[in-house]
Structure 1
């Protein structure tokens, strides 16, 4: 907007106040020239109206009505050109303008009205050029911010500084907000509530609402036909048209940043799956080659393999998987295992099993943890049965990984929900429970009976002779043991796992 003061300053003595006093502080929407008695049909309000005085010929009442019509239409100033219709400012006109609150100016003799109009549009042009330059500078700064490593944070900071207020980006997935300036963290809880209430997700809409006594504009950020998040802006001053354009540019840049992040995540996921698949299938050199594009460093030469089964594994992030596994563990290396999973970038799905290649777990002294048998799952103790089961291998050279995949997979498949099968032999995790069930039976020595039976490969006579039992008594005890563990002792998989578990229990867990 060009002010009347700016126009008078540019014109100098060619446009001045009729009474010689200071010019009124009003903004102009334009300069209009008319000699009509009623020019209001051609006016929109906010103009400086120039006249030679032809409409002012008449009595005091007609002058008052003329000025009243202009004031009612919103005209802010009247300029009287001297020398054509009158050489002096009529007293009736001065009084009428003063009563109506209409600024009265004079254009001296010999000054064409066109000079006033041209001066106004010169000022408009310079102001628009300045606004355009400022807007382009802000747009450039905003675009440059989007090319920086922390693009979202840079865009939010640039946008907040441009409007003299604050800006916040709220990711749609509920992850951490990005905001500027830092002191505005206080608004985040209420802003999240308002965002949920507005329900902008899935739309290309914007909304305004009050927050802590301030007006906030919020936009939905759509990328790849999905809602990536929401941009909320609060200006520290009255918003201009350029500000709104700047916010729309910010929305576009945030959408581009979100799409770029999704594409990078997908690309890394493909690289991660490819590297892991190559490694577990024995193509170690190829896995090393692909890993350079993923992690930019060599693969660890000693690793552990973690297998996880459960529902909807593909939808979980690696961090979420780490949380689920950590919930299943009560003792060391539980916390270390969760952190190791979070650090891993090598993950692949195969036939419903999620495989992760981890760096070996270490104790406080930095030594590898070789034996990591898990006891009672924390989720079971808390009354929240886990929906996942897992198996963890011992540390091994990367070159031996493919040879252990089958054992880890079988152990994962056999592990009860909420349990992690791990340790030296990767036994069926039920074997430890079988030993506990046999040991808890006090009416007969079922542990010794079963050990003898398995040792002699189910030969009744030999086992009965060793136990100094009648053959029928041995059959009776084996029947009880079978019912207790709900498994067939003549099944090689059952007998092999149970034999190793019995050996481990009898010698304190060492072989």
Structure 2
């Protein structure tokens, strides 16, 4: 913004104060020339008005009335051109200007008013170029900040410094707010309240309001039509065009960042779903490869399958949110934390399959260790919603090895049919179903005849000599094959329950 002080310095003797040594550093919004008795109809306020004094020089009363009109319009200053009507400045004109708070400047005789206008636009051009360069530099710095690991914090800080005020970003999810400087935390509560009003009314446009004496502009950060957060900005000065451009740049960068997160989450969800689907279809090795490429980490050896089904009027997000709050038997572990952190989720219509890791301290007989969280008090303890529970029911399997998952799914689906809405039940052990999968895994192993080795070992009830003699191999070779088979199946063949189920499955396969 060009000031009266800058304009006087630029023009020198062609425009100078009437009664003081220098002009004040008062912003000038433009230069206008008029000889009308009331030029305020054509003014916006903040201008330097140039005149020869014809409308008011005749009398003291006319001067006071003229200056009052300029004062009401908030005119910045008056430039009085000497020559045609006035050779000197009347004292009553100076007094009227002082009374109205309007600064009076003198344009000497023979100096064209056009010189004043040209000087103003020269200064404006320089100021605009300077602001543009500064704005471009700031926008470049913001773009660099947007690719940093802490992009949101960096962009918010850069924006606050650029507008000489404060800025804050509020995410619509559970991520903490980012603000700069730290004192801006005092405004976060009111910003959240205002953003909630936006969400309730569905208004994706900017809004301006006052927060504790600060004029704040709140901008929604969008990805398509989805609101990801809100950017609140309070400038420490009257915002310039360059400031508004910087704010729009920050909004664009935050929107791009939100879109990147959205795409990354979508890709991660797709890979998570693909990994879970492979496990559910009995392809653990392929699932491990996909999971590693997706950055899901190591897939646990033992898991539980949480199968839930939602009613026709319940969406997927509501169904998953309701899982930790379903009523459940005391013997079942609290799955709230596991559901929140679950990375292996497959959706098949109204059915959702969550593959949850089994803690290492669970007992090996399939019985879950009762967690401490089961004794908690409050709404989560009873597992019910304060409002009517959504139409969701679920069943949680016993701990399973990865190879056992596919054979246990039919029994889980059948068990779920008997579970009422609002409830989570325990899935019964499925050794018989798992044994069918074990037989297929043994038969598919290509590097050794594990199927015959296990069949002979079980037939002779674990006697190495008799089984190895029947197979015609050394007993150490048989020991190696049984070890490989147990690792493949994730089962102990000396466990009577596992051995009995597998033996019956082998007999059925031979018929």
TM-score with structure 2 length normalisation?
0.65
Instruction: Check whether the contact 2:53–2:81 (CA below 8 A) recurs between aligned residues.
Output: no
Given the superposition, is the C-alpha separation of residues 47 and 164 from structure 1 closer, same or farther in structure 2, using an over 3 Å criterion? closer
**CA deviation profile, 1:334-382 (whole Å, cap 9, x unmatched):** 35x544444431111346442233333112xxx7655334789878983
Aligned residue number for residue 348 of structure 1? 346
Instruction: Check whether the contact 2:325–2:384 (CA below 8 A) recurs between aligned residues.
Output: no
Instruction: Check whether the contact 1:4–1:25 (CA below 8 A) recurs between aligned residues.
Output: yes
Given the superposition, is the C-alpha separation of residues 12 and 281 from structure 1 closer, same or farther in structure 2, using an over 3 Å criterion? same
- How many pairs align? 416
Instruction: Check whether the contact 1:371–1:423 (CA below 8 A) recurs between aligned residues.
Output: no
**CA deviation profile, 1:163-195 (whole Å, cap 9, x unmatched):** 3444344444x5344230344444444443444
**CA deviation profile, 1:409-428 (whole Å, cap 9, x unmatched):** 44555566634426755799
Q: Among residues 48, 67, 70, which one is paired with 1:73 in the alignment?
A: 70
Given the superposition, is the C-alpha separation of residues 177 and 319 from structure 1 closer, same or farther in structure 2, using an over 3 Å criterion? farther
2:373 aligned with 1:372, yes or no?
A: no
Q: Among residues 393, 396, 411, which one is paired with 1:391 in the alignment?
A: 396
- Name structure 1 gaps, 5 residues minimum: 429-499, 501-511
Aligned residue number for residue 355 of structure 2? 357
Aligned residue number for residue 271 of structure 2? 271
Instruction: Check whether the contact 1:31–1:120 (CA below 8 A) recurs between aligned residues.
Output: yes
Quote the Cα distance in structure 2 between the aligned partners of 1:256 and 1:278: 33
SS of structure 2 residue aligned to 1:316: helix
Aligned residue number for residue 15 of structure 1? 15
Instruction: Check whether the contact 2:278–2:286 (CA below 8 A) recurs between aligned residues.
Output: yes
Given the superposition, is the C-alpha separation of residues 162 and 67 from structure 1 closer, same or farther in structure 2, using an over 3 Å criterion? same
SS of structure 1 residue aligned to 2:125: helix
Instruction: Check whether the contact 1:170–1:177 (CA below 8 A) recurs between aligned residues.
Output: yes
Quote the Cα distance in structure 2 between the aligned partners of 1:403 and 1:33: 91
Aligned residue number for residue 421 of structure 1? 426
Deviation at 1:129, TM superposition (A): 1.9
**CA deviation profile, 1:442-471 (whole Å, cap 9, x unmatched):** xxxxxxxxxxxxxxxxxxxxxxxxxxxxxx
Given the superposition, is the C-alpha separation of residues 204 and 421 from structure 1 closer, same or farther in structure 2, using an over 3 Å criterion? closer
Instruction: Check whether the contact 1:373–1:421 (CA below 8 A) recurs between aligned residues.
Output: no
Quote the Cα distance in structure 1 between the aligned partners of 2:251 and 2:137: 17
Quote the Cα distance in structure 1 between the aligned partners of 2:349 and 2:23: 83
**CA deviation profile, 1:255-309 (whole Å, cap 9, x unmatched):** 4433433333222222112111122212334323322332264544x13131322
Instruction: Check whether the contact 1:291–1:298 (CA below 8 A) recurs between aligned residues.
Output: yes
Aligned residue number for residue 231 of structure 2? 231
Quote the Cα distance in structure 2 between the aligned partners of 1:33 and 1:416: 84
Aligned residue number for residue 406 of structure 2? 402
Aligned residue number for residue 134 of structure 1? 134
Instruction: Check whether the contact 1:374–1:421 (CA below 8 A) recurs between aligned residues.
Output: no
2:316 aligned with 1:303, yes or no?
A: no
TM-score with structure 1 length normalisation?
0.65
Quote the Cα distance in structure 2 between the aligned partners of 1:296 and 1:198: 36
Quote the Cα distance in structure 1 between the aligned partners of 2:431 and 2:349: 20
Instruction: Check whether the contact 1:272–1:347 (CA below 8 A) recurs between aligned residues.
Output: yes
Deviation at 1:155, TM superposition (A): 3.6
Quote the Cα distance in structure 1 between the aligned partners of 2:100 and 2:348: 85
Instruction: Check whether the contact 2:366–2:398 (CA below 8 A) recurs between aligned residues.
Output: no
SS of structure 1 residue aligned to 2:355: strand
Instruction: Check whether the contact 2:222–2:228 (CA below 8 A) recurs between aligned residues.
Output: yes
SS of structure 1 residue aligned to 2:289: helix
SS of structure 2 residue aligned to 1:147: coil
Given the superposition, is the C-alpha separation of residues 166 and 97 from structure 1 closer, same or farther in structure 2, using an over 3 Å criterion? closer
Given the superposition, is the C-alpha separation of residues 152 and 77 from structure 1 closer, same or farther in structure 2, using an over 3 Å criterion? closer
Quote the Cα distance in structure 2 between the aligned partners of 1:384 and 1:359: 24
The structure with the largest alpha-carbon Rg is 1
SS of structure 2 residue aligned to 1:203: coil
Moved more, 271-280 or 211-220: 211-220
Given the superposition, is the C-alpha separation of residues 419 and 427 from structure 1 closer, same or farther in structure 2, using an over 3 Å criterion? farther
Instruction: Check whether the contact 1:152–1:178 (CA below 8 A) recurs between aligned residues.
Output: no
Given the superposition, is the C-alpha separation of residues 157 and 24 from structure 1 closer, same or farther in structure 2, using an over 3 Å criterion? closer
2:120 aligned with 1:123, yes or no?
A: no
Instruction: Check whether the contact 1:372–1:423 (CA below 8 A) recurs between aligned residues.
Output: no
Given the superposition, is the C-alpha separation of residues 157 and 412 from structure 1 closer, same or farther in structure 2, using an over 3 Å criterion? farther
Instruction: Check whether the contact 1:372–1:422 (CA below 8 A) recurs between aligned residues.
Output: no
Instruction: Check whether the contact 1:330–1:374 (CA below 8 A) recurs between aligned residues.
Output: no
Spell out the pairing of 1:105-504 with structure 2 (5 A cutoff): 105-108=105-108, 111-172=111-172, 175-181=174-180, 182-197=182-197, 201-295=201-295, 297-300=297-300, 302-311=301-310, 315-316=316-317, 320=321, 323-324=324-325, 328=328, 330=330, 334-335=333-334, 337-350=335-348, 352-363=350-361, 370-373=365-368, 382=382, 384=384, 387-396=392-401, 398-413=402-417, 418-421=423-426, 425=430
Quote the Cα distance in structure 1 between the aligned partners of 2:320 and 2:148: 26
- Name structure 2 gaps, 5 residues minimum: 434-496, 498-511
Moved more, 85-94 or 280-289: 85-94
